[in-house]
Structures are given as structure tokens and as C-alpha cells.
Chain A
């Protein structure tokens, strides 16, 4: 636990020392603000459903850029050797990187709370879907970061890591499209793998344990595989 805290502080420092974090956050908030303003003026409806879907898409495109360095850079500069020869468990190294990147991503998402304030002051929003919407994007962030870390652990090339993450996330997003081509029960399996299929109900205000379980279990599986990859030497 103590080592996890030490590593987490180091990762946070590394994350916020890099211009990548600020660039990605700026692009994310700029696009989100633009979309929010357009949607609000066009529809005059006090909900953030559209914004949550924007966050869904933007984060699939941008989180791989944040996670690509995690292990790829440590491998390239050999600093992973320093970490792995210190008296720390591989899981602590993985969790420190996971929580540090998740902190940044959730911080970016928190920028959208300004829109909630605007809606609360000038409109009469339905608060239930807002809460479930933020739960959905938080779970979504955990899944993106954990898959990004797994892909970063497979290579020492950051661009390859980002491309692998993006590919894996897009495949998960569109997994259900392949269901029409498959016989039962494989079609059901593929439909249930779909990222958007588990995101949509939660954002719409229907929080099911199966959807929450999907995000949590895929995130934990990816973190487990990342830890195994680090231990394999």
C-alpha cells in the first residue's frame, strides 16, 4: 500500500509533467464545449445525454494517447528495470499507472460539470440521468485506461501502443455489428461484448448490474493481463 502511494505520486507527477496531458485535455474540453453550446442553442433541452455520448467517442480517440507512454516509455528508457528490481509488486506498478491516468481522465471529464451548473441555474434538468451519465463515463474511463495500459505493456513503441489501444477499443465499440453474421450462441456473446451496448442504458438513466459488471470485469481482466505481462520475464 505504501509503495502504491509512492508510485502513484511519481506517476501523477510524470503525467502532469508531460505536455501530452495538457494538449489532450485542452482538445477534449474545446470540442466538448463547442458541442455543448451548439446542442443547447439548437435544442433548448436541459439534458447532457448528447454530451455523454460525445465524451464516449472523444475519450475512445484520446485516452490511447494518454496511456501509450505508460509502459512503452519505461521499456524504451529502461526505467522499467529500475522499478522491477525494487522491492515492489508488479500489481502496485500497474495500479499506480492506472489510478494516475484515471485521475487525469476523470479530471478532464470533471470539466463538463460546468455544463451541469449552467443547466441547473438556467433550466430544470432531470438529475437521475445526470448521475447515471457520470457513472457511465467514469466506468468507461476505467475500461479505456486499463485496455490502454495493457497495450502499452506489449511494446516499447508508443505509436504502436496507441494504435493497438485504438484498434482494440474500436473493435469493442463495434463488436455487436458482427452478431448478424454469427450463429447462436456466438451472436449473443458478441452482442454482450459491445461497449456501446452497455454504455447506452446507463447514460439513459437505467443502471443495470450487468452493465456495471461488464465495465468492471473487462477493466480488471485488462489490469490482470498487464500485471502478468510485467511478471513474464
Chain B
């Protein structure tokens, strides 16, 4: 645990990710305040997923420092990972498992004590309205239920920080609205960092947004104080 500014649940200082001559994320500095919903906005290929994967501990930064709740994701990786719930863009799930079984597995993997696992699964299932499908095989779920199951596994251990990569990708309009409402309802209790390339989604979901382009963070704005997000987007890009 590193002593730092308690205001931030996520702190990135000069973070870069390079693949030989290609720089996916370039000296990124960012602080996400505790309890806020922060959205990384940017077109496809702008470096959002690479940055998110570094936060989640899936990729290692080539340079810089990344802190989750005060834990360095490289030096203190396991402690940092205990603080996060993560839903990758591709919504990976174990198709051979049933929903309840998968949530129990993820709860145990995320180090929920054995005695608390059932309660944790019930709470996550209730939050995501998965009660009716807990005994259903994951391979039989619709896209919407798969997304909910992925969100449930990210929340099952009640993490401090929730990281969502394009959480509404591939959902129908009703499911998109439900997911946005869920994200808003989780704000405050959890710090949420999400990515999106849809301006209207950012406006309806986030407290602040950062614009990422070619791996560089071009600016950060409060949504409430930026009535013309589209204009800001166009002026910066």
C-alpha cells in the first residue's frame, strides 16, 4: 500500500504501453475519484482497452505507475486485483458452467470466505436480476443475460473499484438502458471506470469523462459542466 492522495481510487502517473515501435498508451496521467463514474471516451483503437487491461492487471505497463486503492498494480499486483471487479469487452464466461456455479467459482477465486459465498452470490444475482437463471447453463443464455452474469461476477466480491470495458456493446436498447441505470445505481458505493465510444452513453452515465486518442489523454471534463460534449469532442479531436 502506497500512501497517496486518498481522494483517488485510481491513479495513473505517466503510464505507457509500447509494443516494439507502436505506442498504444502514451504517458497517461489520470486520477479517478472515489465513488465517481469515470468514462474513457475515444474511437476504436485509441488505447482504451489497453489502458483498462493494464488497470485490471492483465497487461503490464511499459513505463509509469498505476495505483488501485493505493496498491501498485505491478509491485503489489495481488492486493490491487483484490480491489477490482472487471468485465472485459468480450464478456468471457465459462460456457460449461451453470450461472450459479460460475458465480460461486468467481467468488471463491476473488477470495470471498467460504461461509459468505452463498450470500455473496445471492446478493449479486438479486442486483442483476439473475435469480431465474441461476441453474441455467451459461451456454443457453441470451446476450443480455450473459452481460448481466459478467457484471455479477465482477460485483460478487463487492469490490471497491469496478472496471467495465464497453459495457453496453452488443446489447439491445432496453438492455442498454438497464445497464446504464445499473451503473448509475452502483456509483458512490463503487468507483467505476468504464470505456465507451458513444457520446450519448457518456452523457447519461458518467460524472467525468476523459478523451483518449492515439494513446494520449487529450483532456478530462465534468459532464455536468460540459453541456455540449459533442462540441468538446470535435474541438479536441
Contacts and interface: CB of A to CB of B under 8 A. Distances in A.
Contact of B60 (A77, A81, A88, A233): A233
B109 A6 contact: yes
B96 A17 contact: yes
B150 to A, nearest CB: 9
B141 to A, nearest CB: 14
Given A84-B58, A85-B81, A233-B60, A78 B88 contact: yes
Interface residues of B, number: 27
Contacts of A233: 58-60
B92 A85 contact: no
Nearest to A76: B92
A89 interface: yes
A143 interface: no
Contacts, number: 61
A10 B94 CA distance: 10
A81 B111 CA distance: 17
Contacts of B96: 13-14, 17-18
Interface string A60-76: 00000000000000000
Most buried by B among A77, A82, A83: A82
The main secondary structure of chain A at its interface with chain B is helix
A86 B56 CA distance: 9
A78 B57 contact: no
B37 to A, nearest CB: 20
The main secondary structure of chain B at its interface with chain A is loop
Contacts of A78: 88, 90, 92
Given A6-B105, A6-B108, A10-B105, A85 B57 contact: yes
B92 A86 contact: no
A87 B92 contact: no
B105 A84 contact: no
A7 interface: yes
Contacts of A85: 56-58, 81, 84, 86, 88
A50 B218 CA distance: 71
A87 B88 contact: no
Given A10-B105, A87-B110, A81 B94 contact: no
A84 to B, nearest CB: 5
Contacts of B180: none
A206 interface: no
Interface in B30-89: 53, 56-60, 78-79, 81-82, 84, 86, 88
B176 interface: no
Interface in A126-163: none
Contact of A82 (B59, B60, B84, B92): B92
B134 interface: no
Give the 7 A-B residue pairs with the shortest CB-CB distance, closest first: A78-B92, A87-B81, A85-B56, A78-B90, A6-B108, A79-B92, A17-B96
Interface of B: 53, 56-60, 78-79, 81-82, 84, 86, 88, 90, 92-97, 105-106, 108-111, 153
7 contacts: A6-B109, A85-B58, A86-B81, A87-B79, A87-B81, A88-B78, A233-B59
